[in-house]
Chain A
């Protein structure tokens, strides 16, 4: 399922992008329906896809069973697809039925590599989210709910 520019523009990750940049990303993003209990990522597996939530509720669990839940449109799952170690650091489970946008990591990296300005804009946001989630991955503590 393909998506449209307007949907992407409404997402925090892509909010700063101009129309031309969004046009480049649109064909790479695909819509996917998820059902309650569906596992989107498994901890330790190679990270090949990252997901942006359009609707639904999700739980991300990390080592020592630390976890947090995601409930908002624009929340991201599978950040390891574009940052080291390129293996999922957590397991993502759908708590309810929902809709996500997914992008293959290879395509995303190719896009970032071919357009450095666009890559910079997106990576800045991703790095911010990674730093917020770091305590869950490392065992410290962080924000209560995202």
Chain B
């Protein structure tokens, strides 16, 4: 059998039409799924933001003060006092590697990431000569926050 007759006999047209349709459907679905992935990841990454937003009204009810140092985790806030003592002992401006070294020797946990948090929330800021100083304003805010928490 040859020609169109052979195609019809073996249901070639049906196989081809269904086949190419399935290929298209598969890749359209995959394309759709792929186009959603980054949006879903975006939502997932911002979940803490949404969570905080949903928490806000509750905070208002409790009449707690607005957080002045929003990016500093609580455990880091707690150890800030110990770091402050080390800085006072070294004197300002102080070299950052020395603070790192001392905090490690004193057994403070995760000194590297803690110092990083301090820098990011600007509790520790660079002086103009490659050394660092404590930012008094942020320090006061942290103290205030801690007092409020302990009184609560």
Contact = CB atoms under 8 A, between A and B. Distances in A.
Q: Do A and B bind each other?
A: yes
Interface in B106-124: 110, 112-113, 115-116, 119-120
Interface residues of A, number: 24
A67 B110 contact: no
Contacts of B112: 36-37, 59, 93-96
Contact of A66 (B100, B119, B130): B130
A102 B129 CA distance: 29
Given A59-B100, A93-B100, A69 B116 contact: yes
A45 interface: no
A65 B95 contact: yes
A69 B119 contact: yes
Nearest to A38: B112
Nearest to A94: B112
A30 B150 CA distance: 48
A68 to B, nearest CB: 6
A62 interface: yes
Given A71-B120, A144-B125, A36 B97 contact: no
Interface string A57-81: 1010110111111010000000000
Nearest to B111: A37
Contacts of A71: 119-120
B131 interface: yes
A96 B126 contact: no
Contacts of B132: 67
A136 interface: yes
A136 B130 contact: yes
Interface of B: 95-98, 100, 110, 112-113, 115-116, 119-120, 125-126, 128-132
